[in-house]
Amino acid sequence: MYLSKVHLENWRSYEDATFNFKKPNGRKPLILIGAMNGHGKTSFLIALYLGLFGKFGLRYCEGFTQDPENNPFYRKAIQLFRRNSANADQPSLVEMVFSPTLQDTDFQEVRIVRRWFFDSSNRPKLGEAFETVEIYRDDRPIKVQDLEYAHDKIEKLLFPAHIMPAFLFDGEQAQMLINNSGAPGIKKAVEVMFGTKIIDDVHAQIEQYLNICHQKLGGKKQASFKEQELSSKTSERQRINAQLTELQKKHIEKEKEKEEIENSRKEAMERLTMLGGQKALDVKKLGEELLMQEQNKSTAEKNLTDTVRHLGLALSLTRLGTPIENRLKSEEIREKWERLRESTMERAEQVIAVAVPEPPSSDELLGNLSQEIRDRVKDRFKRALQQIYNPPPNGCADSYLCGHVKGEQRHVVFDLLCQVRAQNASDIRQKAKKLKEAREIYEETIIRNERLTNLPDEVNELANQLDSFHSQIDEAIRRLNSIENEIKKLKGDLHNLNSEIGKLQEEIASMEPQQKRIAVAERIHRVLTELSDKLRPIALNHLEELVTHHFLLIADKRFKGRIKFPKDAAPIFEFQTGKSQAIDIMSGFERRSFGIAFSLALAEITQKRVPLIIDTPLGNADSKYRPRLLQALTDVALDQIIILTHDQEVNGELLSSIDQKVSQKYLVIYSDESNASSVFENSFFGEQK
């Protein structure tokens, strides 16, 4: 359906104004109604609320949500909405026409005309004379007994009154949509529009039908043997059903109990972690870590001692190493030189014996010399031989400073010096660093050891608690399994009983037509009992998926997750990280986005092609949000979307981006001169004709 006409008389700033909306063609669902603040946007929306559902609609009007059932208050409200310069004899009037679109095969045009009458002093008339409603279906009037009947009839012909604000709403009233989408609101909306309410109604009527049928048969006293058997089986089934309900209740309680124990265990674990440090997950692990740290401490101490010892030797030899080595080398040369000289001198007598042989008679050359001369020649030879080793070779020490270090001992000292030289500065720094680290680990271990030794009571207590929680959880799981088995068994019994009852009913039905009807009604009853429970979660799941889909299209990219409608609580956004945020504490525009997403989702889930009428949908949204929100609105498969807007909301590039989806534009201008708002079709801000 689509809204094809709105006619207002003596309504706020409208003296006599008509909006005629074209039949939507699918490609252009948007209608823009532009009006500056105070020129008639909200008056248009309020006219729809009150024109459709009168007193009931007042609760959705901004500023009138309190005490909606109070009748005198309603009269006063209508007086406020009445055009202040209206003639007393002229009523205030709201007329709306809803027409079928091409897809609405079984919808007939509905025209509603609601009038409010005033006395000569322009005060609301008393009693029933105040308000009248006319309803026409395909131009044929429907007899309306009273306002209550009219309300029911309009609900049946169009849509339920309490979901009206999901389709006709002021962007500012998104909070109301959130509240309405809480447990009761969502339940009503889904029940009515997904059809579960009708299923419940059928269920109740079938129950009544069964009672009447049994009464007609004269009650159970008159029943045949088969009927008595059936009655007994039915009672048995009731007993099992009651037992099943009881067990299911117990199951829920036990689940809750288990959850509580698990939460307590989690708290104890967290407390234990805080006491024992990040790595201490439980007492056993704390113990293991304590042992490990003690070992680390011993290793650190050993490392410390070794490092200091090596470091001491290295430090003492590093600076004197080269001079000592040079000294030892020069003394080694001296030692070699002296050894060579001594060895030569030891053989000097033999050399002289060759040069001056004894006795003189054997010396052909110098045998005739006196003994004294011969001795002097020998002495000269000896001095000459000594002269071979003078001066001492280069690098030879003048004397021995380390005379006690000789031969092999000198090589041991050389090796030690090499080792010391290999321990260069960076090696020493590394060792110092290791020493520091070892000391730190050692100190930390001491602190942790102290902390742990000071807290044994609390840690032990927590450990005991954890043990107890483990046992309790095991017990709860055992109990839950046992209940589940009982439930399974009872369901099996119930299934068998149902077949037996079915057979009995068939047998009875073959005897009497009335009993046959009872058998069918019983089966319908069974289907409906189960169906009602099955449909609600399906509907809710669909709704959550669709609201999330539309919300994510509009909202900021940081929203990654899913909207949830918890039982008996306001809707939340559950992030992928596991955190959740209540919608009603989100920013104004995010709440507005949720409201619009909710409307779009309801429209989809219920497959009601209801026109969507939004007053200032963008509000104070920033430049990023605006195109996304408008895009979301135009992308959804709705026949008609009427946007009431002002000159600063949908304009410029934004207007150009949706222009191809706009079928009609209106401009409403209030004139002080005429004290009335005039409606200009095919006009908009900056496009006045």
Partner 1 sequence: MNYPPCFQDSEAKKEIERLCRENNIDILLLKDLCELLNEYSGMGRKEGVIQDIEDIIDRFIKRS
Of the pair 105, 577, the CB lying nearest partner 1 is at 105
Of the pair 455, 524, the CB lying nearest partner 1 is at 524
Of the pair 115, 151, the CB lying nearest partner 1 is at 151
Of the pair 5, 525, the CB lying nearest partner 1 is at 525
How far is it, in rounded angstroms, from Cα 396 to Cα 512? 141
The reply on whether position 607 binds partner 1 by CB under 8 A is yes
The reply on whether position 110 binds partner 1 by CB under 8 A is no
Q: Which residue has the tokens 């005033």?
A: 118
Q: Which residue has the tokens 């131009």?
A: 139
In 3-state terms the chain splits into helix, strand, coil percentages (rounded to 5) of: 60, 15, 25
How far is it, in rounded angstroms, from Cα 94 to Cα 132? 11
3-state secondary structure of 217: coil
Candidates 531, 570, 654, 669; binder of partner 1 (CB under 8 A) is 531
User: Which strand (E) or helix (H) includes residue 643?
Assistant: strand 641-645
Of 146-154, 366-374, 482-490, 676-684, the segment contacting partner 1 by CB under 8 A is 146-154
The reply on whether position 520 binds partner 1 by CB under 8 A is yes
Single-letter code of the amino acid located at 366: L
3-state secondary structure of 7: strand
In the bound complex, what is the minimum distance in angstroms from residue 670's beta carbon to partner 1? 38
Token code pair at residue 449: 């050891």
Of the pair 32, 206, the CB lying nearest partner 1 is at 206
In the bound complex, what is the minimum distance in angstroms from residue 528's beta carbon to partner 1? 8
**Preceding peptide of 391 cis, ω within 30°:** yes
The strand pair at 2-11 and 14-20 is best described as antiparallel
The reply on whether position 538 binds partner 1 by CB under 8 A is yes
The reply on whether position 524 binds partner 1 by CB under 8 A is yes
How far is it, in rounded angstroms, from Cα 255 to Cα 484? 11
Instruction: Fill in the DSSP letter of residue 413.
Output: H
In the bound complex, what is the minimum distance in angstroms from residue 62's beta carbon to partner 1? 28
The reply on whether position 609 binds partner 1 by CB under 8 A is no
How far is it, in rounded angstroms, from Cα 135 to Cα 383? 155
Candidates 217, 435, 535, 669; binder of partner 1 (CB under 8 A) is 535
The strand pair at 662-671 and 30-35 is best described as parallel
Candidates 182, 321, 502, 588; binder of partner 1 (CB under 8 A) is 502
In the bound complex, what is the minimum distance in angstroms from residue 521's beta carbon to partner 1? 6
How far is it, in rounded angstroms, from Cα 644 to Cα 34? 6
Residues in the chain: 689
User: With CB under 8 A, what is the number of residues at the site for partner 1?
Assistant: 40
The reply on whether position 512 binds partner 1 by CB under 8 A is no
Of the pair 401, 520, the CB lying nearest partner 1 is at 520
Of 58-66, 165-173, 280-288, 602-610, the segment contacting partner 1 by CB under 8 A is 602-610
Token code pair at residue 543: 């709704």
CB atoms within 10 A of CB 29: 22
The strand pair at 662-671 and 2-11 is best described as unpaired
Best CA proximity match to 459, nearest among 260, 273, 267 = 273
What is the full DSSP assignment across 524-566?
Answer: HHHHHHHHHHHHHHHHHHHHHHHHHHHHHHHS-TT--EEEE--
The reply on whether position 193 binds partner 1 by CB under 8 A is yes
The reply on whether position 526 binds partner 1 by CB under 8 A is yes
Candidates 27, 106, 121, 399; binder of partner 1 (CB under 8 A) is 106
The reply on whether position 237 binds partner 1 by CB under 8 A is no
Of the pair 378, 523, the CB lying nearest partner 1 is at 523
Of 200-208, 217-225, 438-446, 664-672, the segment contacting partner 1 by CB under 8 A is 200-208
Contact 609, 3 (CB under 8 A): no
Contact 95, 111 (CB under 8 A): yes
Candidates 156, 221, 567, 579; binder of partner 1 (CB under 8 A) is 156
Candidates 253, 440, 474, 530; binder of partner 1 (CB under 8 A) is 530
Could you say which residues in the range 201-220 bind partner 1, by CB under 8 A? Answer: 201-202, 205-206, 208-209, 212
The reply on whether position 292 binds partner 1 by CB under 8 A is no
Of the pair 87, 208, the CB lying nearest partner 1 is at 208
Instruction: Report the interface residues with partner 1, using CB under 8 A.
Output: 106, 151-153, 155-156, 193-196, 198-199, 201-202, 205-206, 208-209, 212, 502, 516-517, 520-521, 523-524, 526-528, 530-531, 534-535, 538-539, 542, 605-608
